[in-house]
Amino acid sequence: MTMHLDSFMAGLIRRNPGQPEFHQAVCEVAETLIPYINAHPVYERACILERLTEPDRIVIFRVCWEDDAGNVRVNRGYRVQFNNAIGPYKGGLRFDKSVSLSILKFLGFEQIFKNSLTTLPMGGAKGGSDFNPKGKSDREVMRFCQAFMSELYRHIGKDVDVPAGDIGVGTREISYLFGQYKRLRNEFTGVLTGKGLAFGGSPVRTEATGYGCVYFAREMLARQHEGLEGKRCVVSGAGNVAQYAAQKLMQEGAKVLTLSDRSGYIFEPEGLTEEELAFIIDLKTNRRGDLSEVAKEFGTDYFPGEKPWGVPCDMAFPCATQNEIEEEDARRLLANGCRAVVEGANMPTTREALRHFRAARILFAPGKAANAGGVAISGLEMTQNSMRLTWPREEVDRQLQQIMKRIHEQCVAHGQEDSWVDYVKGANIAGFIKVAGAMLAYGIL
């Protein structure tokens, strides 16, 4: 029987009402996968896509903690264990007031394909909480993390499910979470990645997502006989991914014109300097302030309440959050000459914006391929933990570059269309083949 996108999506929406981000992520994948499945009926007969869009399990729990004023606070915690066909569940934790089941299901679903693309043995998962770390003291964050882990520890394990960071979860939070897991289980294992270097973290994990994006961009440009030198790049976000995408772009000779946060964006017409970037990394990682402080310190142009997509550029690196490039933003980017979009964030492009980019046949790298460097180095952190070894920084960076190159090759192999590469289609099909093959091998589960 032939599969049809409309009827497949109608069923998915009926079974998962009120989850727009999840619908969006599945639709983007189904659109490119269904023709492939129709050409390979073995997948359709085994209902692989229907099974892939239903999480293995979801854990939802109360997180109760005490703030500095002695008030009792209640948040909701989640872990979506989506698919472990090719390895233990793996994916980040997000702490943000916007966190919902829809957002975590979209992220967990994307993670299945992304982790498969890394070529490492990792299944897909995501989790987090509607806890808002903004304005909380270190002690409050610690108490929240301990309370969160007091339930999560029952559901994870180094061979079961290995969480990591995402929005609002960096080294500070992973350290508190790891400490609590160690206390509750009385074992020191690689149950989380993104750990501090002193207690099992991998060199380059902090930089890996941002660096990986730039390595992916380099591969895309190399196919066009071009390089990053002199390219004008608009980057959004000012957190982990944006900081290290910006750093690597600068090392490669590109100009980073912008960074942004929830307060607005900064614009440096000749490109950010190393001094400005070092200030921003400290501001965001340690002092947790907003970008208006960069304007105060350096006189950098600052546009409160605005997104950076109106700035003329050669390449855009959305590295903040989902759906940050809307249709009008895509029109402006294209009208201003942008020729490549590389997604550092997960699903930062709305469906309407994506349609414009694909119609214009620009270089468009979807997050599941371009930002896979972070989880890839998490995978290598797991390997190092199992071996009880830490590899040198140069070795991990070399492996990251090799992995990004291989991901790029897989996208080209499955996404080549006459002279243009449809990286969305390529990433979806390449990610699918391995997971679907494992699911077929297991029989009906």
Ligand X SMILES: NC(=O)C1=CN([C@@H]2O[C@H](COP(=O)(O)OP(=O)(O)OC[C@H]3O[C@@H](n4cnc5c(N)ncnc54)[C@H](OP(=O)(O)O)[C@@H]3O)[C@@H](O)[C@H]2O)C=CC1
Ligand Y SMILES: O=C(O)CCC(=O)C(=O)O
| Residues at the interface with ligand X (CB under 6 A) | 165-168, 170, 209, 237-242, 261-263, 284, 290, 319-321, 344-346, 371, 374
Q: How many CB atoms lie within 10 A of CB 249?
A: 26
Instruction: Give catalytic status of residue 126 as yes or no.
Output: yes
| Dihedral-angle region of residue 252 (phi above 0 means left; psi in -120 to 50 means alpha; beta otherwise) | alpha
Give yes or no for residue 375 binding ligand Y (CB under 6 A). yes
Give yes or no for residue 382 binding ligand Y (CB under 6 A). no
C-beta of 150 vs 206, nearer to ligand X: 206
Name which of ligand Y, ligand X, none residue 90 binds, using a CB cut-off of 5 to 8 Å depending on partner kind. ligand Y
Taking the C-alpha atoms of residue 91 and residue 116, their distance in angstroms, rounded to an integer, is 12
Strands 89-95 and 123-129: parallel
Name which of ligand Y, ligand X, none residue 241 binds, using a CB cut-off of 5 to 8 Å depending on partner kind. ligand X
Catalytic residue among 105, 126, 284, 425: 126
Name which of ligand Y, ligand X, none residue 425 binds, using a CB cut-off of 5 to 8 Å depending on partner kind. none
DSSP 149-218: HHHHTTT-BTTTEEEE-BTTB-HHHHHHHHHHHHHHH------SSS--GGGTPPTTHHHHHHHHHHHHHH
Give yes or no for residue 374 binding ligand Y (CB under 6 A). yes
If 0-12 CB within 10 Å is exposed, 13-18 middle and 19+ buried, where does residue 58 land?
middle
Name which of ligand X, ligand Y, none residue 341 binds, using a CB cut-off of 5 to 8 Å depending on partner kind. none
Tell me which of 77, 88, 92, 318 binds ligand Y, using CB under 6 A.
Answer: 92
Burial 85-103 (b: 16+ CB within 10 A, else e): bbbbbbbbbbbbeebbbbb
The token pair that represents 103 in the structure block = 């957002």
**All residues at 6 or more sequence positions from 282 whose CB lies less than 8 Å from its CB, including other chains:** none
Q: How many CA atoms lie within 13 A of 330 on its CB side?
A: 23
Give yes or no for residue 164 binding ligand Y (CB under 6 A). yes
Tell me which of 243, 346, 384, 410 binds ligand Y, using CB under 6 A.
Answer: 346
User: Nearest residue by C-beta to ligand Y?
Assistant: 92
Q: CB of 133: closest distance to ligand Y in angstroms?
A: 16
171 is in an annotated binding site: no
C-beta of 254 vs 345, nearer to ligand Y: 345
The token pair that represents 112 in the structure block = 């299945």
C-beta of 170 vs 366, nearer to ligand X: 170
Strands 57-66 and 420-421: unpaired
> Which one of 90-98, 137-145, 385-393, 408-416 is the stretch in contact with ligand Y (CB under 6 A)?
90-98
165 is in an annotated binding site: yes
Binding positions for ligand Y, 406-445, rule CB under 6 A: none
Give yes or no for residue 250 binding ligand Y (CB under 6 A). no
Taking the C-alpha atoms of residue 154 and residue 177, their distance in angstroms, rounded to an integer, is 13
Q: How many residues does the chain have?
A: 445
Residues in binding site for NAD(+): 209, 240
Residues in binding site: 90, 111, 114, 165, 209, 240, 378
Active site residues: 126
In the complex, the residues that contact ligand Y under the rule CB under 6 A are 90-92, 114, 164, 166, 193, 346, 374-375, 378
